[in-house]
Amino acid sequence: MRESWPTSTGAAGVDLHLDLPTGPGQGGRRAALERALRDAVRDGRLAPGARLPSTRRLAADTGVARGTVKAAYDQLVAEGYLDARQGSGTVVADRPGPPAAHPGDGGGPAPVPRHDLRPGSPDVTSFPTAAWMRATRRALGAAPSAAYDYGDPRGRIELRTALAEYLGRTRGVVAEPGRIIVTSGYVQALALLVRVTARTVAMEDPGLPFHREVVRRAGGRVVPLPTDERGARTHRLATGAGAVDAVVVTPAHQYPTGVTLHPSRRHALTAWARETGGLVVEDDYDGEFRYDRQPVGALQGTAPDHVVYVGTASKTLGPALRLGWMVLPPRLVAPVAEEKLHSDFHTGALGQLTLAELIRDHGYDRQVRAGRLRYRRRRDLLVARLRRAYGTGPEGGEGGPYGLDGIAAGLHALLTLPPGEPAEAQIRRRAARLGLAVGTLGDHWHENDGPHEGGPPEQGPAHTSAAADRPQGLIIGYGTPGEGAYPAALDALMAALTRP
């Protein structure tokens, strides 16, 4: 027979669950109490430093005599499981943990690089903590009680209304609140769209491998859509037996090459969607960050009934918020909302309310403008260091050995390597020895994904050339380091580029 008690740790009101087996062969209540406490410490349910109930409180909660509880505590103190501290009661003693895993032995996370120039993340040290807290207080102070209940799978109306105004004003998106669905980021948005609308999806080559895997896991088949200096090569989209259902593009700042989709190809892409009924998914992951001219307007604004606009707060505020949004053609709102209902019911409401308030009082605009200035300074410093060392300018100007592309916008640049230089993998290894992490272009080509369950490697209307014919390069992100860490990261980069 087993008896369980949730016990309260005095004024703190913290419950402690104890499973005390009783009956023949169990050795009485003191032995049962000792075993229960000992097991709780061993398996980590009682962490080092955790305060235990007083003997009086635990005796009252369990129905065990106080003297029995005290004797059990004394025994576990003697064994080293507990520690009796004067004035602090009885706490769980510090105990040595398992040996730390060494890098590369598969027993723990990879070591954090000393300098991080990998793309994909903003400078999270610039998160507007004070502004976010003020917006939270205002939002929660005005929130109806229904905000704390289960919500609309499309998202809070406050945020959808604020986003409709902001996206129309800053990105040229044709949006009204009824066309917007709030998600927990781009990954969820992409997976929902694939499950609802698409089975064969064209994705830019090169592109982010993780997003291709998201499509596959959602039930879609991926075919590569090559890119060049004008962006996605839209003429490669087939309209016959090899037709695709949807095309995923990054028109404002292609990832990872950084090029902007040429106007003629923007027109060709929306014409393809109108003629075939296909869907264009516009990933506007860093469209707010344009440095040398006004931001390029969203593709969605030119064909709102055929383009899904997807954006997030991950680059402007931080990935931890898990807030994204889709602006959908009207015909897709209901089916996507239904799919989201059965995916996670709804995105967390309190973060939505806070973001809506931050947008309404223009704190979000201020954060974007501050980020634009910060990242432009970092881009300019990268360009200056490369020009001084190698004569390298934008697009490989001034005759330098390296090409530098994609620097007009966004949080990363592509440094292409000339023929005869060390391979990107060799430079990355050299950088790692200096404590520097960078991205490499070679990781982003489709054919590097290899075979996948359910079929051979990707083939389709946009079959690509051999990897040997492709350029090599480093993808340098200037968002990840904190403000004070960026110059040292560039020092490490320049050292890695220098021949040993």
Paired with 415 in beta bridges are 404, 474
Q: Please check whether residue 114 is in contact with residue 493, taking contact to mean a CB–CB distance below 8 angstroms.
A: no
Q: Please check whether residue 415 is in contact with residue 406, taking contact to mean a CB–CB distance below 8 angstroms.
A: no
Q: Both 355 and 281 in a single domain?
A: yes
pLDDT at 397 over 90: no
What was the pLDDT predicted at 109?
Answer: 59
pLDDT at 104 over 90: no
Place of tokens 């264009």: 280
Cα–Cα dist 492/497, whole Å: 9
35 vs 203, more confident:
203
Asked if the structure places residue 122 within a domain, the reply is no
**Closest C-alpha to 16, from 42, 43, 48, 45:** 45
Q: Both 286 and 418 in a single domain?
A: no
Q: Please check whether residue 250 is in contact with residue 283, taking contact to mean a CB–CB distance below 8 angstroms.
A: yes
pLDDT band at 101; cut points 50, 70, 90: very low
Q: Please check whether residue 329 is in contact with residue 197, taking contact to mean a CB–CB distance below 8 angstroms.
A: no
What was the pLDDT predicted at 77?
Answer: 92
Q: Please check whether residue 153 is in contact with residue 336, taking contact to mean a CB–CB distance below 8 angstroms.
A: no
247 by DSSP, 3-state: which?
strand
Token code pair at residue 469:
């014919």
pLDDT at 40 over 80: yes
Query: Stretch 284-309: mean pLDDT, rounded?
Result: 93
Q: Both 290 and 418 in a single domain?
A: no
The per-residue pLDDT for range 330-357, each reduced to its tens digit, is: 999 999 999 999 999 999 999 999 999 9
What was the pLDDT predicted at 468?
Answer: 55
Cα–Cα dist 122/58, whole Å: 49
pLDDT at 79 over 90: no
Q: Both 183 and 237 in a single domain?
A: yes
Q: Both 307 and 395 in a single domain?
A: no
The per-residue pLDDT for range 182-241, each reduced to its tens digit, is: 999 999 999 999 999 988 999 999 999 999 999 999 999 999 999 999 999 999 997 665
pLDDT at 47 over 80: yes
Q: Please check whether residue 126 is in contact with residue 370, taking contact to mean a CB–CB distance below 8 angstroms.
A: yes
Cα–Cα dist 46/397, whole Å: 62
Q: Both 336 and 481 in a single domain?
A: no
Cα–Cα dist 473/459, whole Å: 25
**Closest C-alpha to 181, from 170, 169, 192:** 192
What was the pLDDT predicted at 452?
Answer: 45
Cα 343 off chain centre by:
18
CA distances from 450 to 226, 445, 454, 459, 461 (A): 17, 10, 12, 11, 18
What was the pLDDT predicted at 3?
Answer: 52
Asked if the structure places residue 447 within a domain, the reply is yes
CATH number at residue 227: 3.40.640.10
Token code pair at residue 100:
């730390």
Kindly give the interhelix angle for 28-42 and 66-79, rounded to the nearest 10 degrees. Answer: 40
pLDDT band at 105; cut points 50, 70, 90: very low
Count how many domains the chain has: 3
Asked if the structure places residue 330 within a domain, the reply is yes
Query: Stretch 46-64: mean pLDDT, rounded?
Result: 87
61 vs 173, more confident:
173
What was the pLDDT predicted at 23?
Answer: 59
CATH number at residue 15: 1.10.10.10
Q: Both 461 and 339 in a single domain?
A: no
Residue 342 burial by CB count (10 A; 0-12/13-18/19+): exposed, middle or buried? exposed
Query: Stretch 45-62: mean pLDDT, rounded?
Result: 87
What was the pLDDT predicted at 22?
Answer: 62
pLDDT at 292 over 90: no
Residue partners of 301: CB distance under 8 A and separation at least 6: 171, 172, 173, 174
Q: Which amino acid, residue 320?
A: A
The per-residue pLDDT for range 437-464, each reduced to its tens digit, is: 999 999 999 987 754 433 333 333 433 3
Domain boundary among 365, 398, 425: 365
CA distances from 341 to 13, 16, 182, 338 (A): 36, 36, 12, 5
Cα–Cα dist 432/428, whole Å: 6
Q: Please check whether residue 409 is in contact with residue 290, taking contact to mean a CB–CB distance below 8 angstroms.
A: yes
Q: Where are the alpha helices (DSSP H) in 80-128?
A: none
**Closest C-alpha to 302, from 171, 165, 162:** 171
Token code pair at residue 85:
């501290």
Asked if the structure places residue 119 within a domain, the reply is no
Kindly give the interhelix angle for 157-171 and 363-390, rounded to the nearest 10 degrees. Answer: 40
* Domain enclosing residue 405, as ranges: 369-497
Task: Determine if the pTM surpasses 0.85.
Answer: no
Q: Both 85 and 225 in a single domain?
A: no
Token code pair at residue 101:
């895993």
Asked if the structure places residue 104 within a domain, the reply is no
Mean pLDDT of the chain: 87
What was the pLDDT predicted at 110?
Answer: 61
pLDDT at 411 over 90: yes
Q: Both 416 and 330 in a single domain?
A: no
Domain boundary among 346, 365, 384: 365
Asked if the structure places residue 110 within a domain, the reply is no
- 3 backbone dihedrals φ, ψ, rounded to 5°: -125, 135
Q: Both 191 and 330 in a single domain?
A: yes
Of 87-96, 264-273, 373-382, the least confident? 87-96
Asked if the structure places residue 98 within a domain, the reply is no
Q: Both 279 and 380 in a single domain?
A: no
